[in-house]
Amino acid sequence: MISYIHQLYSGTATSSSNTTTTPIVTKHGKEATIYLNITAASGTLDLTIKIYDSLSATWHTLATFDQKNSTGTDVGYIEYAIGEKMALYYTVSGGGSFTFSVNAGIKER
């Protein structure tokens, strides 16, 4: 059962960026369900979920979505250690624009 849901991102993107300045805290989590909802799309969108390692001060790839080029939804399930912080990295290519949201449902230990 999901303990809580946090929003990783919601808005319109036209380039590359990330949410490392506003990550969600996941240090008590053991599993995560990632929800993607794309409501407007042109070009291509690449999405990567990363976790933070405070000892090395490095963001590490945890999961990636398949490349997107249309509206719709997708769900990813992560069943192992999810780190202490989680952020979204995204890239919009092809001169496009995407309006989307990404939420993380966290199950605590």
Domain residue ranges in the chain = 4-108
The candidate with the shortest Cα–Cα distance to 76, out of 37, 19, 22, 26, is 37
Encoded amino acid at 15, one letter: S
Domain 4-108 has CATH 2.60.120.380: yes
The candidate with the shortest Cα–Cα distance to 56, out of 38, 83, 79, 34, is 83
- Copy the structure tokens of residue 6: 């946090």
Mean pLDDT per block of 10 residues along the chain (109 residues) reads: 88 97 87 95 97 92 95 92 89 97 90
User: What's the whole-model pTM score?
Assistant: 0.92
Residues 60, 63: Cα–Cα separation, whole Å: 9
What local confidence, expressed as pLDDT, does residue 4 receive?
82
What local confidence, expressed as pLDDT, does residue 27 receive?
78
Where are the alpha helices (H) located in the chain, listed in sequence order?
none
